[in-house]
C-alpha cells in the first residue's frame, strides 16, 4: 500500500524540522540525536511504502534515543493512524504538542483524526490552531461531515430512522470513516426497521474501533456521555437478538458511566425486567409449568414488544399446551421481526402440522 502524496510531504516537512531539542548539549547527546534522526528517516521510508508496523518500530527506536523529538512523535502518530490505532495516535499528537506547543503538524494530524472519528468540535479547534489559514481541503471535509451529522441527529430526534441511516452513511462517506458514534447511531436506527443482523454488524464495528472516550471524559453525544451511548445501543441490540446476559452487562456499564442520564436509567430498568422475565420463563418451562411460563414471557413482551426470542419461547409453551394456533401466531410475530429466524420457522411448521390434524369443530 503506497502512502498518499500529502502524507509523504508531511513526513518530509517533519524531517526538515528539529522540534523539542530539550536535552543538555554534550557529545553523547549529539551522537544520540544524529542516530535518532537516521532511524527516523528510515521509519519515514517504511511509512511511505505503507509498511506501518515497521515504521512504528523504527520510530519507537528513534524515540528511545531522543524522547523529546516532537517530529518523531508526530510521525509515530501517522504510523498508528495507518494501523487504525486512532486513540494512540491522538495521544501521540498531544504528546508532540506537550514537547513543542508550536508544532502545527500535530494540530493538522489531530484535525484529520477527529474528522475521521466524527468529533466535530475537536476537529474545529485543532484546525484553527494548525495554521493562520485553515487547510481548505480539510475545512471542506469537516463542514461536509458536520452538515450530514447535523441532519442525522435532527432525524434521530424526530424518530425518522431511514433519514438517520442515509445521513450517517453520508457523514461516514464524507470523511468520518472511523466514527464509533456514527456506527452506533446506525445500529440504533436499524433496530426499529427490524434489520437486526445489520444492527449487530454496526454495533460490533463501533465496539472494535480504537478510541476509548475516557481520554476525553466530557465527550457528549445526543445528550449521553459518548461511551455510555455506545453501550446503551449495544444493550438494545443484544436484547433484540436474545443475548440477554450481554444486554444486562452493557446497560450496567452504561449506567456506571452516565448515572444521571434518565434514558440510560429507563433502559437499564427495561433490560433488567426483560432479562428477568426471560429467565423466569425458562425456569418455568424447564419445570413443565408451561402456562406460567407463557405469562412470564408475556411480561417480558410488555417491556419489549418486538423481541423475537420471547415470542418464539412463548410459542414453544403454546405448543406444549396443545394450543397450536396460538403457537403459530407467536411464530408469525417473531418472523415479522426477523424473517430469517430459523427456530421460529421450524416451530411454526411443527405447529401447522398439528393444526392440520385437528378434528373439525362440532356443529
Specify the pTM.
Answer: 0.84
* Distance, CA of 264 to chain centre: 17
How high is the pLDDT of residue 145? 97
Phi, psi values for residue 8, rounded to 5° = -60, -45
How high is the pLDDT of residue 236? 97
With respect to residue 39, please indicate whether it lies within any of the assigned structural domains.
Answer: no
> Are 183 and 269 part of one and the same domain?
yes
With respect to residue 183, please indicate whether it lies within any of the assigned structural domains.
Answer: yes
> Are 184 and 278 part of one and the same domain?
yes
How high is the pLDDT of residue 133? 86
> Are 241 and 278 part of one and the same domain?
yes
How high is the pLDDT of residue 220? 83
Looking from the CA of 182 toward its CB, the CA atoms found within 13 Å total: 29
> Are 315 and 276 part of one and the same domain?
no
For 286-306, letters b (16+ CB in 10 Å) and e give: eeeebebbbebbebbbebbeb
Report the helix count and the strand count for the chain, using DSSP H and E.
18, 2
> Are 254 and 313 part of one and the same domain?
no
With respect to residue 261, please indicate whether it lies within any of the assigned structural domains.
Answer: yes
Q: Looking at residue 339, which CATH number applies to its domain?
A: 1.25.40.10
Instruction: State the total domains in the chain.
Output: 2
How high is the pLDDT of residue 243? 96
DSSP letter for 224, please: E
How high is the pLDDT of residue 218? 64
> Are 263 and 316 part of one and the same domain?
no
Angle, vertex CA 283, rays to CA 318 and CA 355, nearest 5: 10
> Are 313 and 272 part of one and the same domain?
no
With respect to residue 351, please indicate whether it lies within any of the assigned structural domains.
Answer: yes
With respect to residue 37, please indicate whether it lies within any of the assigned structural domains.
Answer: no
With respect to residue 150, please indicate whether it lies within any of the assigned structural domains.
Answer: no
Q: How far apart are CA 73 and CA 323, in angstroms?
A: 69
150's grid cell:
447535523
Where do the DSSP E strands lie in the chain? 220-221, 224-225
How high is the pLDDT of residue 7? 52
Helix (H, G, I), strand (E, B) or coil at 220: strand
| 247, 282, 317 - which closes a domain | 282
1's grid cell:
500500500
Q: Looking at residue 211, which CATH number applies to its domain?
A: 1.25.40
With respect to residue 247, please indicate whether it lies within any of the assigned structural domains.
Answer: yes
How high is the pLDDT of residue 279? 97
CA-nearest of 257, 279, 254 to 268 is 254
Report CA torsion sign: 150, 92, 42, 31: positive
Which residue range(s) make up the domain with 345? 307-356
How high is the pLDDT of residue 144? 98
> Are 277 and 316 part of one and the same domain?
no
Q: How far apart are CA 45 and CA 53, in angstroms?
A: 12
Q: How far apart are CA 97 and CA 113, in angstroms?
A: 15
Per-residue pLDDT of 306-351, as tens digits, reads: 999 999 999 999 999 999 999 999 999 999 999 999 999 999 999 9
Task: Give me the DSSP letters along 94-159.
Answer: HHHHHH-TT-HHHHHHHHHHHHHHT-HHHHHHHHHHH-SS--HHHHHHHHHHHHHHHHHHHHHHHT
Report CA torsion sign: 18, 23, 25, 29: negative
- The pLDDT tens digits along the chain (363 residues) read 444 445 545 554 454 444 444 444 344 555 688 899 999 999 999 999 999 999 999 999 999 999 999 999 999 999 999 999 998 999 999 999 999 999 999 999 999 999 999 999 999 999 999 888 888 999 999 999 999 999 999 999 999 999 999 999 999 999 999 999 999 999 999 999 999 999 999 999 998 886 655 455 467 888 999 899 999 999 999 999 999 999 999 999 999 999 999 999 999 999 999 999 999 999 999 999 999 999 999 999 999 999 999 999 999 999 999 999 999 999 999 999 999 999 999 999 999 998 875 555 444
> Are 257 and 327 part of one and the same domain?
no
> Are 312 and 278 part of one and the same domain?
no
Amino acid at each position: 500500500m503506497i502512502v498518499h502524496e500529502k502524507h509523504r510531504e508531511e513526513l518530509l516537512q517533519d524531517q526538515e524540522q528539529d522540534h523539542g531539542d530539550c536535552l543538555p548539549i554534550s557529545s553523547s547527546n549529539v551522537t544520540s540525536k544524529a542516530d535518532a534522526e537516521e532511524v527516523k528517516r528510515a521509519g519515514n521510508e517504511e511509512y511511505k511504502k505503507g509498511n506501518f508496523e515497521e515504521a512504528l518500530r523504527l520510530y519507537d527506536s528513534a524515540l528511545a534515543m531522543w524522547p523529546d523529538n516532537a517530529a518523531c512523535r508526530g510521525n509515530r502518530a501517522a504510523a498508528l493512524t495507518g494501523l487504525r490505532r486512532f486513540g494512540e495516535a491522538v495521544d501521540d499528537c498531544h504528546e508532540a504538542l506537550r514537547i513543542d506547543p508550536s508544532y502545527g503538524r500535530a494540530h493538522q494530524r489531530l484535525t484529520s483524526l477527529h474528522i475521521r472519528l466524527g468529533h466535530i468540535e475537536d476537529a474545529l479547534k485543532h484546525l484553527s490552531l494548525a495554521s493562520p489559514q485553515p487547510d481548505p481541503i480539510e475545512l471542506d471535509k469537516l463542514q461536509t461531515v458536520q452538515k450530514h451529522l447535523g441532519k442525522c441527529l435532527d432525524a434521530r430526534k424526530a424518530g425518522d430512522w431511514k433519514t438517520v441511516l442515509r445521513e450517517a452513511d453520508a457523514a461516514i462517506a464524507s470523511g468520518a470513516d472511523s466514527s464509533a458514534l456514527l456506527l452506533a447511531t446506525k445500529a440504533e436506527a436499524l433496530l426499529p426497521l427490524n434489520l437486526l443482523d445489520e444492527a449487530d454488524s454496526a454495533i460490533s464495528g463501533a465496539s472494535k474501533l480504537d478510541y476509548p472516550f475516557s481520554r476525553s471524559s466530557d465527550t457528549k453525544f445526543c445528550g449521553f456521555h459518548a461511551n455510555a451511548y455506545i453501550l446503551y445501543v449495544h444493550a438494545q441490540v443484544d436484547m433484540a437478538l436474545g443475548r440477554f446476559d450481554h444486554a444486562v452487562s452493557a446497560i450496567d456499564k452504561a449506567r456506571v458511566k452516565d448515572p444521571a442520564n434518565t434514558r440510560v436509567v429507563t433502559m437499564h430498568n427495561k433490560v433488567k425486567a426483560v432479562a428477568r422475565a426471560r429467565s423466569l420463563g425458562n425456569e418455568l418451562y424447564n419445570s413443565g409449568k408451561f402456562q406460567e411460563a407463557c405469562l412470564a414471557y408475556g411480561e417480558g413482551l410488555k417491556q419489549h414488544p418486538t423481541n423475537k426470542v420471547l415470542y418464539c419461547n412463548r410459542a414453544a409453551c403454546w405448543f406444549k399446551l396443545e394450543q397450536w394456533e396460538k403457537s403459530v401466531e407467536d411464530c408469525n410475530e417473531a418472523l415479522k421481526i426477523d424473517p430469517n429466524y430459523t427456530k421460529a420457522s421450524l416451530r411454526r411448521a411443527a405447529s401447522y402440522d398439528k393444526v392440520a390434524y385437528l378434528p373439525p369443530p362440532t356443529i
